[in-house]
A and B are shown apart, each in its own frame.
Chain A
Amino acid sequence: MYLTAEEENVLDGEQGETLRKAMEILVALGDIYGADGLIPVKSAQIAGVSYKTIGDAGLEWISNLEGTVKVPSILNPAGMDMLRWKEMGIEPEFAEKQLEIIAAYEKLGISSKCTCTPYYLEGFSATCGDHLAWSESSAVSYANSVIGARTNREGGPSALSAALVGKTANYGYHLDENRVPSVSVVVDHELSGSDYGALGYIAGKEIGNRVPMFHLASTPTSDELKGLGAAMAASGAVALYHVEGVTPEAKQVHFDKPDENITIQRSQLDEVYETIIGNDDDLECDIVAVGCPHCSPEELNNIADLLEGKKIEKELWVCTSREVAQRYPDVVKRIEESGSKVLCDTCMVVSPATEGHNCMMVNSGKALAYVPGMCKVPAMYQKGWW
């Protein structure tokens, strides 16, 4: 891999140990994947935030780093709402460690706003063709597919390295040739709302890590695309997809028709709605959680409308980013008047607060794929939220 003289100096430690390590990580990944060099990135989004995931070892490593990030950088969701963790039933020992992790990242100049939807936030907008170093799988999928920006699915340390250096290795989805679809997915019945998450849950398993081109009978909104991509990145490893006539690259680039063709039937989606994942018994759900990925302003507004004048009988979590919640305090108030909780900085997948529930009802194919395994809580999928 080609390095400029300045990049070589960083690799030789002339700008300190933190940058040397960061450069070594970028170069190692570049060599593994055959990159020709490094390219500047517009922003970084860093995974490895929840204390549940990275533990004391991760905290220690981050705490030992020095310096400041070179591009706007933000964090993935953490294990708790930073302000309301007590209400969530989080243990003080966990909260203390979680706050230490956030503080360690902040010391490096990283925004402590923890979200899987950085694209809704000031300073993190991206446009078609921008190079990014994002790590959360649904954010990567949204950036690549819905926005048309370019990012690999960075691991926590590699996204942090890219943030510190301001560059990433030029391979994978940064290159045109890896953005060409290799499988077609046809759905010839109408879809709406949570159908897209169910479709992603089914399609991801068949597509694996390939790039699909969807041919859909209906035209999805950007929120529906968010649900589709998040589910495919969880049940499979899809980091980029195209939708004919909808997503930016599908409109701009002429792609040849892939050889392989998958058709998804309505009955396959219905099966997703009928199964409780993670348990054979007919369990009663005791919690409903929405906002995976974090709710957009439109989704929050729709939830507020649905809850208008109602009181909830089961626990209902609505997960979003703190910045979006703070931008629409009236909407948050309308949701919470029903007894629901609007939780920020975290979600049902990464918070230990999910554990100990009987069965969780979700409207996200991604949550359906992760909650049973990662939180050991059976999950069921609900039709037609909005």
Chain B
Amino acid sequence: MTIKIECRTIARGVAEGEVLLSGDALSFLGNVDPKTGVVVDPGHAIYGECIKDRILVFPHGKGSTVGSYVIYQLKKNNVSPAAMINIDSEPIVAVGAIISDIPLVDRLDKDPFTIFKNGDRVKVDSTGGFVELMNR
């Protein structure tokens, strides 16, 4: 059974992947290695995890606006997330997602940290304005 959750569209697109939950906000400049997609900040909630091809769920972005270009670099290096889900998007991640063609949504009807577990298969249809939790 799939569960469909309405959300707000920030960057259009459709993608599917396995969920990676990060309770911490993310600064793409500094927290993530743009060559490997691995989170390199030892103090971060998902330190050591690789964000490549994941449905990356985090509260919001933070830090330098150059972070938008780091997201673009991740995409060019084929190590970017498949899609991103925020509680509330802010401009750094929003702009980074748009220039990199990575679907981004926020303000889900249900709290993503309650409804998703790490490894869940999720489809983000940002163009359609919904997220689907598959195979439950």
Which A residues are closer than 8 A to B by beta carbons? 21, 24-25, 28-29, 31-32, 47-48, 53-58, 60-61, 155-158
Dominant secondary structure at the A interface = helix
The contact of B95 among A28, A56, A60, by CB within 8 Å, is A28
**Is B98 part of the binding interface, using a Cβ–Cβ cutoff of 8 Å?**
yes
A32 and B90 contact, Cβ closer than 8 Å, known pairs A24-B98, A25-B95, A54-B69: yes
Does B130 count as interface, using CB distance less than 8 angstroms?
no
Number of interface residues of B (CB under 8 A): 22
Distance in Å: Cβ of A150 to nearest Cβ of chain B: 18
B10 cross-chain contacts in A, Cβ below 8 A: 28, 31-32
Chain B contacts for A157, CB-based, 8 A: 68, 95, 98-99
Residue of B nearest to A29 (CB): B91
Q: Which residues of B contact A54 (CB under 8 A)?
A: 66, 69
B52 to chain A, nearest CB (A): 16
B-side residues, CB < 8 A to A, are 8, 10-12, 34, 65-66, 68-70, 72-73, 76, 88-92, 94-95, 98-99
Residues of A within 8 A of B76 (CB): 57, 60
Asked if A158 contacts B95 (CB within 8 A), the reply is yes
Contacting residues, chain A, for B95 (C-beta < 8 A): 25, 28-29, 155, 157-158
Q: Is the CB of A58 within 8 A of B98?
A: no
Partner among B70, B89, B92 whose Cβ is within 8 Å of the Cβ of A57: B70
Instruction: Pick from B12, B73, B94, B99: contact of A55, CB below 8 A.
Output: B73
Known contacts A32-B10, A32-B89: A156-B94 contact under CB 8 Å: no
Q: Is the CB of A21 within 8 A of B69?
A: no
User: Smallest Cβ distance from B59 to chain A, in angstroms?
Assistant: 14
Q: How far does the Cβ of B121 sit from chain A's closest Cβ, in whole Å? A: 26
Complex: chain A residue closest to B64, CB-CB: A53
